[in-house]
Structure 1
Amino acid sequence: MGEDLSGHHADRVQAAIASDAAAKSALVASWRRSSNLHRLDPADCKPPQYLTEPELNEARQRIETLVRAAQSSLDRLYLAVGGVGCCVLLADRDGVPVERRGAAVDDGTFRLWGLWTGSIWNEQSEGTNGIGTCLVEQRVLTIHRDQHFHTRNTELSCTTAPIYDHQGDLAAALDVSSCRADLTEAFANLISVAVVDAVRRIEAENFRMAFPKARILLAPVADKGPGALIAVDADDLVVGATRSARLALGITHECLQKPIPAADLPGGAQKVTEILAEAERGVLQRALARTDGNVSAAAKALSISRATLHRKLNRLDVHRSH
């Protein structure tokens, strides 16, 4: 990168920081954090910092369950974006990628830029960037080329979304980064849609893994986003809720210290009852399908008596062949 271009970017960042633009622009507010709070210089050319191998292993272990939940979604996202010169990074809440997908032909370039496992991409180290700024602001964003704080990162385009764990807490960030000069902002917007979809699937899978014995239901909210999930036990008590469901239903950490009757959730007992009945109907239908309609075998598989299963089938109007 030429000295004139480097100086021009640094000057532009410093001028924006000195103006009143930070009150109106989230980007300039991030630049100001990078300069004033973290004491970074936009013209700094030092390469990204890396964790040691033991430190990286510890970081990965801290979110091991989430990493396992993310595997298929990372593969699917990479299939969508890898062919256009992008890599996929799953970073922990400290901004350190612990899992990565990328094409071997691009590995040298991405490693040079620090788009690799173990690199440190929080705002404290790298200033405004996709992973670090996403984790600070907890929102989906794209930091496109010269929107980066450091001049040395202005050839990158990074689209990142936050990932919340089964307790609704910020746990990680999912990033798609590119070093291609021809990556347009319009295409970055398409990548953003793919990243958000992958995050929803990762959060849902992680939630299911956290409550393996519970029924996972869409929360009874007006706008049923795919992320608004609740976990209900065999007694129809709510034992878990995703961040989307917590926000929509006003469920706090304190609320879930003891199980909540599902019928007591906002949205009305009738609506909740319908959701629970539909979920139970599905369980019974799957049990009957696996036993070729044999009620006795299905009852045994469900660990209930034949008479109880008959009552449930009649109440839920589930048809059977035997």
Structure 2
Amino acid sequence: MHSQALGRAESPAQDHSLIDKAHARSRAFGVALEDKPDYARVGKGELSAALEESRFLFQHAVPVMETLYEQIANTHSMVVLTSAQGLVLHSKGDSDFLEKASNVALMPGVDWSEQARGTNAVGTALAEQEAVTVHGAQHYMRANQALTCSCAPIFAPQGQLIGALDVSGDHRSYHQHTLALVRMSAQMIENQMFAASFPKAVRLHFHSRPEFLGTLVEGIAVFTPEGRFISANRSAQFQFGLSVNALQAHTFSSLFDLPMSALFELFSGPSTAPRSLCLHNGVSVWCRTEIRPAGPWAAPMVAPLDEGGASRPGAAEPRPAPARRPHLSSLQYLDTGDEQLASVIAKLRRVVDRDIPIMILGETGTGKDLLAQAIHNDSARARQPFVAVNCASIPDTLIEAELFGYEEGAFTGARKKGAMGKIQQAHGGTLFLDEIGDMPRHLQARLLRVLQERRISPLGAGKEIEVDVTVISATHKNLKELIASGEFREDLYYRLNGLVVRLPALRERSDFQAVVQKVLKALRERGQPVRIAPEVMALLQRYHWPGNVRQLHNLLRTACVMVDEGSAVSLEHLPDDFLDEVHAPPASGAGAPLRPQAPVAPAVHAAAPGGDLDEADEAGQRLQDVAIHAMAQMLRLHKGNVSAAAKALGVSRNTIYRKKNLLPPDLLD
């Protein structure tokens, strides 16, 4: 099987013994090479139960999946999230590949464990508990050999396997760097889950280089206030040189040669600057933590971060709202000089606390969620919950339970004692319905009734509960077109649009430099200020920003990590894929990317299904740009050590050396 030609795509650089072991397991499970696969989905109740069981993973994975998909969009691929058992929970992909994916059932409710599908990236990554690519003929069942899939397992903050993240595409469009992207995305999910856990623990962030604090590669370890070790993320385990199981035998004192009281004293002052500590293995690291000034044994001030600030489902009462920070999250803070935005803010100030529903329109990434939070923070409800619901990121099978809650036994897999819905969690405060245009039609009538009667009825409950909420909704879609096509209720539209405001796109704003400075200040609030070189600012101002403020934030966050202390952000600190895009031939209309100033390195890729060779080449070039950027970042992190960078990325040394003509020459050892 391994001798079969793999087309024009290069075979993944990994240990083939891993695939051989997976094939042996497949034979033992009784899977046959020529089996016609059964891609029947599990029942709705079983899928709902699996989604409920994986709620914590799902909430933190979906935003990362959106970011990952943006990086691979238009490459005939899709992103898949599964449970620890291999059941697909959520998928997102290119429209052309989605049709193909339905034929191989990369859809929610399908089991992709090795027992069911033989050797495949999801099942094999879960079985081996390590990231893996299964390419073309490496799949055990011939029916799956048209695919190339790269998958990384996801571990919960306590260390147990909780799920997997996968990118699947046509085997002719294989790219070496995809596994590295998946691995980094899985790490991002793990770190975000880690940040949302252990609310009463002392959480220590550390790295040997201070500029990497707050980034994906920082180590995070948590301890009890008395110094007992609780858990550590993968980067922390790597820096300690110990597995999470081995770390269980340690304390803060044995790992840092310092009593816990000294840590509290070190971080008890007003300064939030990183401090230098020494690990048990002699490595010096920079650390950051925040200590509550309440009693001799304190916990960190940073509370678990639930989207919307609401308590977790099932809690008896909503969590108290955090202390207000009006200088960072008020309407005044968002007013940076643009006339269009100033007009929007003036209108909003007139209706705050008037019980008038607000609808925010704007392109993706314009900051609709930030504006909603600012409206709440400037209202009389500021100390009550602000609960956000993204109607586009919750599956149809879960959104009803998510919004309205449910009683014990309402459906298979429901939590004991039931769970409180988002609407009830927002009682007394603000309910933010983001992407309202994606709310399923059958729930729109229920929502309309709640808004009219201010009562909800949880699933399985025989009673109604009174709720008091102010409603803010947002969408990037044209709701009137959805009404015309029958996808959105007209009566609900007129119930939500008491005041409709439109956020301008970033390319339409006159305060671009002020926005850049505000983003930089937020990114480097605890470090040295960052300057932007004039030629970079000019380039940023001429770009069309399809991802708006969110795209600008992500770009500047990367630049802040890359730039040296005291230096200005220059062109070399900007991601390669961004530079290639702004140097691309201009499209028609204003705000188009810049003309190319240098030739783009050629790349050869197999044609993707449903498209021609040119389309595949363009998609492949974009993916290669992301790969080069990731390699450059890791080489800088590991000070030019190719072996260490390759290990961190999950690729071979040869993969990096093959790209050496595209990498800065001073980075290769």
The alignment's TM-score, normalised by the length of structure 1, stands at: 0.70
Match of 1:217 in 2: 204
- Is the 1:88–1:176 Cα contact (8 Å) retained in structure 2? yes
Hey, what's the Cα distance between the residues in 2 that align with 1:275 and 1:174?
37
Matches within 5 A, 1:142-153: 142-153=133-144
- Is the 1:200–1:227 Cα contact (8 Å) retained in structure 2? no
Matches within 5 A, 1:102-251: 102-179=93-170, 181-184=171-174, 187=175, 189-218=176-205, 226=217, 228-242=219-233, 245=236, 248-251=241-244
Deviation at 1:143, TM superposition (A): 0.3
Tell me the number of residue pairs that the alignment of Structure 1 and Structure 2 aligns: 262
Hey, what's the Cα distance between the residues in 1 that align with 2:90 and 2:80?
6
Matched residue type, 2:94: A
* Residues 1:26 and 2:18 aligned together: yes
Decide which of 284, 308, 321 is 2:270's aligned counterpart: 284
Deviation at 1:190, TM superposition (A): 1.1
Decide which of 63, 74, 94 is 2:65's aligned counterpart: 74
- Is the 1:96–1:117 Cα contact (8 Å) retained in structure 2? yes
Hey, what's the Cα distance between the residues in 1 that align with 2:84 and 2:257?
37
Decide which of 34, 46, 53 is 1:55's aligned counterpart: 46
Hey, what's the Cα distance between the residues in 2 that align with 1:103 and 1:214?
41
Distance 1:221 1:251, change over 3 A: farther
Cα deviation code 1:117-163 (max 9, x no counterpart): 11110000100000001111111110011110011101000000111
Hey, what's the Cα distance between the residues in 2 that align with 1:302 and 1:28?
53
Hey, what's the Cα distance between the residues in 2 that align with 1:161 and 1:59?
19
- Is the 2:226–2:260 Cα contact (8 Å) retained in structure 1? no
Cα deviation code 1:252-273 (max 9, x no counterpart): 38937xxx641222xx415999
Distance 1:48 1:10, change over 3 A: farther
Distance 1:284 1:54, change over 3 A: farther
Percent of counterpart pairs with the same letter? 24
- Is the 1:263–1:273 Cα contact (8 Å) retained in structure 2? no
Runs of at least 5 residues in structure 2 that lack an aligned partner in the other structure: 5-14, 274-290, 296-525, 527-669
- Is the 1:168–1:243 Cα contact (8 Å) retained in structure 2? no
Deviation at 1:61, TM superposition (A): 1.3
Which secondary structure does the structure 2 equivalent of 1:83 belong to? coil
Matched residue type, 1:166: P
Deviation at 1:170, TM superposition (A): 1.1
| Greater radius of gyration (CA) | 2
CA RMSD of aligned residues (A): 3.6
Normalized per residue, the structure richer in helix is: 1
Match of 1:18 in 2: none
Deviation at 1:104, TM superposition (A): 3.5
Cα deviation code 1:155-201 (max 9, x no counterpart): 0000001111111111111100002x5313xx1x2111111111111
Distance 1:28 1:216, change over 3 A: same
Runs of at least 5 residues in structure 1 that lack an aligned partner in the other structure: 1-8, 13-22, 288-300, 306-317
Deviation at 1:275, TM superposition (A): 7.7
